[in-house]
Amino acid sequence: MATVMEMPKLSDTMSEGSVARWLKKEGDKVSAGIPVIEIDTDKATMEYECPASGTLLKILVGDGQKCALQAPIAVIGKPDEKWEEALEKYNAKKGGATASSETKKEAPKASSAAAPSASSSKSSASAPDLNVKASPLAKKIAADKGIDLKAIQGSGPNGRIVQRDLDQAPSSGSSSSSFAFAANAEVEKIPHTNMRKTIARRLAESVNTAPHFFLTVNINMTNLLAWRKDAVAKLPENEKFSVNDLVIFLTARALKRHPDVNSSWQDDYVAKYRDVHMSVAVALPNGLMTPVVRHADKLTVVQIAQETKRLVKLAKDGKLQPNDYAGGTFSVSNLGMAGIESFTAIINPPQAAILAVGATVPTPVVLPNGTIGVEQRMKVTLSCDHRVIDGAVGAEFLKTLRQFFEDPVSALFLG
């Protein structure tokens, strides 16, 4: 009997799936347990194993198409089986459920005489969307003005749309987008990927719910850079480490001394973590991933370098698994490698802090003897969730971190 393959849920926050590409084509033989498709989730592109052995009779959701979770995406069976009959039985069993609308064939274009009237268009645009979080008053205003709530960024609790968000929103009589395009400007419309939509949602949630404040220190990197250069010269190629690996190593040890920073805000309590699981920001062509170096406070700098290289390769190859990017307790974002000297980062919820690392640059300074000299200096900025971290707590953490950078031997004596 033919098997209908469904769109799987590959992460806890995944709300829909998108087919990156099929690894087999219609008519190919497939085997249970062997990857047959790559799926774009809200976190990464992941391979998914075939649920049954046989022939790939029909692909229902093609490359680049999206569909709801548990919607049918393919039919697998014997070469002589009719995929239409298998899908019909599947739909009957599911209560008439059908594949994603994106898999359906396009209907013939209607003539101008059959175009919907303005009144019917307005009615469709003003119909409330039950999946959008908005206050009852905001929904009523949107319905009256013909405003598309999907185009509005809410400023209320947890991104909820409230009345003030609709004051400047365009009605159905103007552009349906939240921002009007410049007159006569050429526009390339790039569809949102699941990853990009998740990034947008989570960062908007972070800014709207976590009261951010920022603390910056300027660190003398001269001694640390000299020590690293000497150490790396003596190590085999597979044990060499970067400045970023040192940042992770020393930050993890500073967090061990200041556990209040290694925490998160929960509804009924503050979670203070005993272990340091370091989320490391990795830039990808279609977004940003934060794979996690687990137990970073217990690893040597060489072990951190090896683990970071492994995770970055998996991220760039689109092969990160949920366990590779879930459960971080603190984040590091390093744009110094791109020449950025100083920046502030948005906290990665539910974490309470993130460290933004700038470039190391030669900087003129007044030396203790009153003369002018040049030091290799690096600015780091700690973004804090004020619900969890007070200014004094963040300042003490940065004081320790600067001490570790300027005197790395002190990081080995944690008391």
For the segment(s) 211-412, the CATH number from 3.40.50.360, 3.30.465.10, 3.30.70.580, 3.30.559.10 is 3.30.559.10
User: Which whole number is the average pLDDT over 373-378?
Assistant: 95
Residue 342 · residue 216 · CB < 8 Å: yes
Q: How far is CA 374 from CA 357, 362, 363, 364, in A?
A: 20, 6, 5, 4
Domain 125-195, CATH class in plain words: few secondary structures
- Report the C-alpha gap between 113 and 122 in whole angstroms: 18
Strands 353-366 and 212-220 come out as: unpaired
Q: Which of 212-226, 310-324, 359-373 has the lowest mean pLDDT?
A: 310-324
- Report the C-alpha gap between 42 and 11 in whole angstroms: 8
Chain-centre distance of CA 316, in angstroms? 14
Instruction: State the catalytic residues.
Output: 386
Chain-centre distance of CA 362, in angstroms? 34
Q: Which stretches of 21-99 are DSSP H helices?
A: 83-93
Q: Which stretches of 130-221 are DSSP H helices?
A: 136-145, 194-209
Tell me the pTM: 0.64
- CATH number for the domain whose boundaries are 3-96: 2.40.50.100
On the question of a common fold for 3-96 and 125-195, the answer reads no
Residue type, 394: G
Q: Which of 9-23, 119-133, 209-223, 401-415 has the lowest mean pLDDT?
A: 119-133
Q: Helix %, strand %, coil % for the chain, to 5?
A: 35, 25, 40
Each domain of the chain, given as residue ranges in start order, spans 3-96, 125-195, 211-412
Q: How many CB atoms lie within 10 A of CB 340?
A: 14
Q: Using one digit for the tens of pLDDT, what is the confidence trace for 115-153?
A: 333 333 333 434 445 567 777 667 777 776 778 777 787
- The backbone torsions φ and ψ at residue 351, rounded to the nearest 5 degrees and listed phi first, read -60, 160
Angle among Cα 74, 36, 317 to the nearest 5 degrees reads: 130
Q: Which of 99-113, 142-156, 216-230, 320-334 has the lowest mean pLDDT?
A: 99-113
